[in-house]
Amino acid sequence: MRDLEIRRQLRHYLERAFGHDPSALILDELGICCGRVRADMAVVNGELKGFEIKSDQDTLLRLRSQTLLYNRVFDTVSIIVANKHLDEVRKMVPRWWGVVIAEENGAAARPRFSVCRREGRNPNPDPISIAQLIWRDEALEVLKVNRLASGLYGKPRKFLWEALVRNFPLTDLRALVRRQLKARGDWRSAV
Domains in the chain with CATH codes:
3-117 (3.40.1350), 127-183 (no CATH)
Span 122-138, mean pLDDT?
Answer: 97
Please classify residue 94 by burial: count the beta carbons closer than 10 Å to its beta carbon, then call 0-12 exposed, 13-18 middle and 19+ buried.
Answer: middle
Span 160-170, mean pLDDT?
Answer: 98
pLDDT reported for residue 189: 47
pLDDT reported for residue 185: 73
Between 7 and 1, where is the model more confident? 7
| Structure-derived torsion over alpha carbons of residues 128, 65, 175, 177, reported in degrees to the nearest 10 | 70
